[in-house]
Amino acid sequence: GSESPEEHAAYVWQFYVRQCAARRICIMAHSYGGAVVLELASKFTPDFDKCVFAIALSDSPMRAYTKSFNKNVVAMLKKKAINWGASDRPVNQFLFDRDYGEVRSAGHLAHEWTSHTAFDAIFKFFEEERAKLERNRN
């Protein structure tokens, strides 16, 4: 089940994520990982929507990927995802909004450094989204 990134992710979802004790998860994906996230969201839509509470992308060219996916899946991502793109603006500064979600600055122009430079902002995003879950649960 790991012939491609998409098949590997589907295998992990089926045999690990679905069977783990955690009921709410967040996802961090760099670059092409955004396409893999879209594939997971398409293939496992009800599970994905229920389980995934936040998606952090780093410099993922999502505009290219979203064109071939169902608009409902893309709309679902918009509620959960932020893409930290290559930019020399300060880390986490809002850049623009897209159909798949918000784009913020990763604080670095080099593609390969975007995950590293946005790391703290990404984990703060995860913490904030988890706190929202806790508030809504009570």
Of the CA atoms within 13 Å of residue 38, those in its CB half-sphere come to 26
Is 48:69 a contact under the CB 8 Å cutoff? no
Question: What is the distance, to the nearest Å, from the Cα of residue 37 to the centroid of all Cα atoms in its chain?
Answer: 7
On whether the pTM is more than 0.85, the answer is yes
The amino acid occupying position 88 is D
Is 99:74 a contact under the CB 8 Å cutoff? yes
Catalytic residues: 31
- Provide CB contacts within 8 A for 76, sequence distance 6+: 41, 45, 48, 49
Question: What is the distance, to the nearest Å, from the Cα of residue 63 to the centroid of all Cα atoms in its chain?
Answer: 14
Local structure of 82: helix, strand or coil: strand
pLDDT at 69: 87
Tens-place pLDDT, residues 28-70: 999 999 999 999 999 999 999 999 999 999 999 988 888 888 8
Rounded to whole angstroms, how far apart are CA atoms 69 and 135? 32
Is 91:81 a contact under the CB 8 Å cutoff? no
Strands (E), the chain: 25-30, 52-58, 81-85, 94-98, 101-105
Chain mean pLDDT for the chain:
94
DSSP 112: G
Tens-place pLDDT, residues 86-109: 999 999 999 999 999 999 999 999
